[in-house]
Chains A and B, each alone.
Chain A
Amino acid sequence: MTNQYKIFPLGDAAVTLDMGNTISETLNQKALAMQQWLLAHPFEGLKDCLVAYSSLTLLYNPVIIKKYYKPADTVFAWVADLLQEAFDKALSTPTASRDVIRIPVCYEEPYAPDLAALAREKQLTTGEVIHLHTAPVYNVYMIGFLPGFSYMGEVHERIAMPRKQYPAPVNAGSVGIAGSQTGIYPLNSPGGWQIVGQTPLRLFEPFAPEPVKLQAGDRVQFYAISKNEFMEYIQRL
């Protein structure tokens, strides 16, 4: 467990506790544990709490905190103290024991516009890329960018590939690779990730009781489905 962290203001209404510029399951679990601790010990004026790879950010309303708690020093110092307490008290629970969420992905055309190029670049067959992409259980490190966009990792180094230089239109459900990360676009959006497949599942449904299906800390494994199976899924949903 790390004891290295830095708390810094993200403006005058937000604060970040950062444990290092790195993608690590241990640090991510610590951030998740702190989030849980804070959601169990909320304070007046807390607006939002979000986990990223190795950090936790709180968004707060300084006016409300000032009114309720009358901190002697700055509101930031007061929130920073609380974050420190969260760091000290929150115990990480390994997410490895969680059930694996299995997600069907069609790796065939037209759902995988960048798969062939990625395979060529990496001197692999598309079958090998699919095998490498479906083999591991991925950790969902964070949700960001778009409602429900999941940042997962890490992909096998043989299929890790940088983002495209220019973003292109991406369909909802597209599964992409960016560096060692993999993720699913929940909405139609411009995007720069290399699209290797598409899931028929809807990962963001604004009016469902749980609009976002994946959360930080979830464990995910992809499995390949055919174009026909993809169409069957779509019809069933």
Chain B
Amino acid sequence: MEKMPRWADVALIPILNLIIAFALSALVILAIGEDPVAAVKMMVTGALGSTYGWGYTLYYTTNFIFTGLAVSIAFQAAMFNIGGEGQAAMGGLGVALVCLYIPFPHWALALVFAMAGGALFGAFWAAIPAYLQAKRGSHIVITTIMFNFIAASLLNYLLVNVLRPQGSMDPASARFPEPTRLPTFQDMFSTAENVMFRGTPANVTFFIALLACVGVYFLMWRSRLGYEIRAFGKNPAASIYAGISPFKLTMIAMLISGGLSGMMSINNTMGESERLIMNSVEGAGFIGIAVALMGRNHPFGVLLAAFLFGFLYQGGGELALWTKIPRELITVIQAFVIMFTGALDNMVRMPVERMFIRAAKRREG
């Protein structure tokens, strides 16, 4: 036995990581003179205690599912796509153009076209760094980071100079026409006497995100392309021996990754703000990296991790709103979670692994 059982890898270690992160967060909360137990209660009730809380939690979760899946696919091909932020922003542009300039009779049709528009623009934004990596060897981490800035500047320019309706002081596009409005959870689940998810942004995109998880699962573990992506990511030299083109694989993996990031914008741009605004992605692209790391690059893991971060976002927001705990501290808690589940994963993994191996050796005598 050379390694620990699978359940420890996929469940025990993430849970241990989380416990450490929360324990440290509790210490920080204690240090500023607040009550950590009350804070946890507040976060749980705020995020999951009402349909209102759920409406926000699931909205954030939807964003993180898309960006998490995007990062995970690039990871499987041994590429670190840090450009989710820019790809999602460009996806927003694609969605906005579709919604603003194509007249739709029904939201469902608009959704299909907006998905295509968002994915196309996101994929395009990933394609350039992918090409530079595959042909010129420019490191994808550097180029995707830089493309985040280019995307932000480009959108800035477009919103101020091109898409801003005449006379508006707000650097944002015009409101999308009514037929493109996606049904929110409130529309879908409320009854005449009982309004649920009141005023929350969670919308039908959540189900698209769930479908995307299933789709990515089949793509990566059931299709030939996924087989090639995983093979290429694990052993590029052997892949060339097998006749897999590194150029083609790099491009395809990054196009899918960028496309998924871009599709996030049907949630925030089409579903929530209903117009294209500045900085619409709000860091979801970066959270996607933590989500993919914590989710072990598996769609199901990504779903769970995205939900955890959705909870942290919404619960943290509530905490800032109702207690004296400052908003910055919420960022600290999120940072702890990212740090322990992502960057410092090996710190917990190594001793636990050694423990399992020792135990196995003892059993063998």
Whether chain B is bound by chain A comes out as no
B residues sitting closer than 8 Å to A (CB atoms) are none
A residues sitting closer than 8 Å to B (CB atoms) are none
